[in-house]
Structure 1
Amino acid sequence: MKLAYYPGCSLDGSAIEYGISAKRTAELLGVELLEIEDWNCCGATSGHNTNKLLSLALPARNLALAEKTGLDVLAPCAACYNRFRNTEHVVRHDRKMQEKIAAVIEMDYAASNQTLSILELIVNKVGLEKLREKVSQPLKAMKAACYYGCLLVRPQDHTGFDDNEDPRSMDLIMQALGAESVEWSFKTECCGAALATSRPDVGYRMIYEVLRNAREAGAECLVTACPLCMMNLDMRRRGVEKAFNERLDIPVYYITELLAIACGDSPRDVGVHRHFVEAESYLASLPEKAARIEAEEAARLEAEQAKKAARAAQAKKAAADKAKKKEAPAAEAAAKAGEEKKAAPAAEAAATLAEAGDKGNKATPTQAQAVAPATAEAVDEGALQKKINAMIKAWEKSPEKVAARLIEDGERAAILAQVVSGDEKKTARLAELMITDKDKAAKAAEAFVTGELKKRQKAQES
């Protein structure tokens, strides 16, 4: 696969480590990148607020240069990606604006090519299965909050590759790399962008809320695909901590850095040592932590096997006792008869019964052992899906009652019921989590409610 590559200003300047790891990611996944010749700044972040035509012409020039090569474009920077997709949308739907843009850039541009984000490239073009094949040192024991920010998935009619309220692409990538992605409610909230410079009282609060929410959700690190988000969450960390008098020791990584590391590269190979907030020690701690978790899991499985063995022994003893009770009447009858000739057949019959009991006794645990795996498999495959389907029906029939099982607060539970009603995707997700992991279901429910309340608040403010 070949793609035109647009690094943008950040990947050639303040986010060099993102550029290094993005190129390495492409190399690992078999994607050839051809940097657009004589590219210019895309105009982010304020160009579209000062001059609409200029804000479209700047990205259009880059896209027109790429269009001449016949290649789609990879723009790892979320801001560049957003401006490119916006320009493509305008050119495809506004003929007059297309002509104005062509006059400014002095090139024809028909938006025949498409811009990809790094997430879209990995999930939709390369595929998660191929990614899993490349992983050589999985990120076991990592608990990551995937932070999409406000530009990668909005507006959805321009981007369209993921859900704009509950995106999953970065989460799926992290899971393919062996990490755990936590459920949290700030995954698409704005980091404050340039407000950290122009209005630090506002910008720092937005940065703080993202970091705090991730930590409270159980995350041990943050993952992003946006240089501006990285700058705010990483470079401005100490300023935020000072402003709120609170330590927020949670490292931040680019998704491409972690992908390269999981595929065998060292953290320094992809620039992790360049971060402002120290991020190498957390990565170094993962193998020991993973070993401890595996040991605990092995101990748990051993304890379960011991319990099964104890139950099997009890069943064997019960069968033996039952066989003895069957022998007793025959032996007693033979003794009372007092006739040796009759006693011999009776004893033989009792022995036969004992042998039959022993055989039945031996068969029981063997049968139980044979049935156990099949039962477990049936639960994993059939019964589990039946439970999930039943839970989906419960949501559809009585959303308020099911919502109350996840959220004690009646008002928030009612909001959850409203959010889920009619949304098949959210219904299916909560139903699956309620069957497989109730804690995650509760966190996801809270995240949905928090997101809905934020939307309502923004609607009122506007």
Structure 2
Amino acid sequence: MTYAYYPGCSAKGSSADYEKSTQAVCDVLGLTLVEMSDWNCCGSTPAHAVDTELSAALCARNLDIAARQGAKMLLTPCPSCLSNLKHAANRLEKPEFRARVDALLDNPAAGNFPAVTSVMQGIAAHCDVNGIAKHIRKNLKGLKLAAYYGCLMSRPAKLMDFGDPENPSLMENLLTACGAEMLNFPLKTVCCGASYGIPERAVTARLSGRILKLAACMQADAVAVACPLCQMNLDLRQPQAAKAVDAFFNMPVLYFTQIMGLAFGLSPTALGLEKLRVSADSLLRKLEAEGGRS
């Protein structure tokens, strides 16, 4: 299966390991991701708060490129990108709003856009449990994982179409298929502080610390994420989070694709694990100790 692919800006920098592992896992599963040509930033977290029409124009240009390249489905790994693209497509259904956005573009956007979904949903639609299981080379049995979606992936519920907005389960389904024990993690959709990590570091430290503290109390071996900003707050800013909640953490925070890649027998280097601030070595040692093979 071939899909149009919008990587988003983080994939070329701060979340290069997410991009690397996404491509590697999709390659194993037979999903071909064709990166859109000449794509631009979707506006990320702050643009829509500054100017809704300019933010929508950024996304409309990307949707237009995908449409003119004949895409039927557009996949993106980043929840922020997913949310922005979906919101823009929805707002552009109103003729008056579309006219104002078209005026900001070099040419009016295409009349119809391809459907937009997450890489996670694309994988789940392409492969059922048996389809995933046949690719497992190192069963994840023995690993206890907390799935953390962040606040954007499943909200607003109708627009994002990601299952229960308070209790999504898709990541758990994928990683359970790889043999992992998924904890019933009640903070899976609370905010980590998002981009407040820049102007209000104390807020982000406190919110992220709460998430990490619960994961540690539940004896998780790692936290599985799907958002570059969540990963940064929980991993890179882990010392700040620990200080904010008076705790000590050494909690690996991996993208769900990195964890799936381990189950598929891909090397840590192929999955970009060396980029993590908190080393995943403890996770790898436990996996090797279990010695599980499918």
TM-score bracket, shorter-length normalisation: over 0.9
For the pair 1:282 / 2:288, whether they are aligned, the reply is no
| Equivalent position of 2:119 in the other structure | 118
Deviation, 1:237, is: 0.7
Deviation, 1:161, is: 2.8
**Uncovered stretches (5+) of structure 1, i.e. residues with no partner:** 292-462
For the pair 1:191 / 2:192, whether they are aligned, the reply is yes
Separation in 1, partners of 2:39, 2:231: 23
SS at match of 1:107: coil
| Equivalent position of 1:172 in the other structure | 173
For the pair 1:97 / 2:97, whether they are aligned, the reply is yes
For the pair 1:205 / 2:206, whether they are aligned, the reply is yes
More helix by share: 1
With over 3 angstroms needed to count, the CA separation of the structure-2 counterparts of 1:161 and 1:124, relative to structure 1, is: farther
Deviation, 1:111, is: 4.1
For the pair 1:149 / 2:146, whether they are aligned, the reply is no
Asked if the contact 1:135–1:177 (Cα under 8 Å) also holds between the matched residues in 2, the reply is yes
The code of the aligned residue for 1:163 comes to D
Separation in 2, partners of 1:252, 1:66: 32
| Equivalent position of 1:7 in the other structure | 7
Asked if the contact 1:86–1:158 (Cα under 8 Å) also holds between the matched residues in 2, the reply is yes
Asked if the contact 1:40–1:62 (Cα under 8 Å) also holds between the matched residues in 2, the reply is yes
Please list, as runs of the form range in 1=range in 2, the aligned pairs for 1:370-409 lying within 5 A after superposition: none
Which structure: larger Rg? 1
Asked if the contact 1:273–1:280 (Cα under 8 Å) also holds between the matched residues in 2, the reply is no
Deviation, 1:290, is: 5.9
Q: What's the TM-score, normalizing by structure 2? A: 0.94
The code of the aligned residue for 1:43 comes to G
Deviations 1:185-216 (A, max 9, x none): 10000110111221122111001011112222
SS at match of 2:33: strand
More strand by share: 2
With over 3 angstroms needed to count, the CA separation of the structure-2 counterparts of 1:119 and 1:183, relative to structure 1, is: same
- Further displaced range: 63-72 or 241-250: 241-250
The code of the aligned residue for 2:129 comes to L
Please list, as runs of the form range in 1=range in 2, the aligned pairs for 1:56-455 lying within 5 A after superposition: 56-71=56-71, 72-92=73-93, 94-105=94-105, 106-289=107-290
Q: What's the TM-score, normalizing by structure 1? A: 0.61
Separation in 2, partners of 1:55, 1:9: 15
Separation in 1, partners of 2:124, 2:22: 15
Deviation, 1:242, is: 3.2
For the pair 1:37 / 2:11, whether they are aligned, the reply is no
Number of positions where the alignment pairs a residue of Structure 1 with one of Structure 2: 290
Separation in 2, partners of 1:147, 1:104: 37
Deviation, 1:55, is: 1.0
Separation in 2, partners of 1:26, 1:110: 30
SS at match of 1:157: helix
Separation in 1, partners of 2:13, 2:61: 21
Separation in 2, partners of 1:127, 1:112: 27
Relative contact order, higher structure (CA 8 A, sep 6+): 2
| Equivalent position of 1:50 in the other structure | 50
Separation in 1, partners of 2:291, 2:247: 29
The code of the aligned residue for 1:269 comes to A
Identical residues among aligned pairs (%): 34
**Uncovered stretches (5+) of structure 2, i.e. residues with no partner:** none
Separation in 1, partners of 2:262, 2:290: 17
Asked if the contact 2:63–2:85 (Cα under 8 Å) also holds between the matched residues in 1, the reply is yes
Asked if the contact 1:139–1:178 (Cα under 8 Å) also holds between the matched residues in 2, the reply is yes
Separation in 1, partners of 2:190, 2:111: 33
SS at match of 2:254: strand
| Equivalent position of 1:385 in the other structure | none
Asked if the contact 1:220–1:250 (Cα under 8 Å) also holds between the matched residues in 2, the reply is yes
Deviation, 1:104, is: 1.8
Separation in 1, partners of 2:104, 2:127: 36
The code of the aligned residue for 1:76 comes to P
The code of the aligned residue for 1:55 comes to S
Asked if the contact 2:147–2:225 (Cα under 8 Å) also holds between the matched residues in 1, the reply is yes
SS at match of 1:270: coil
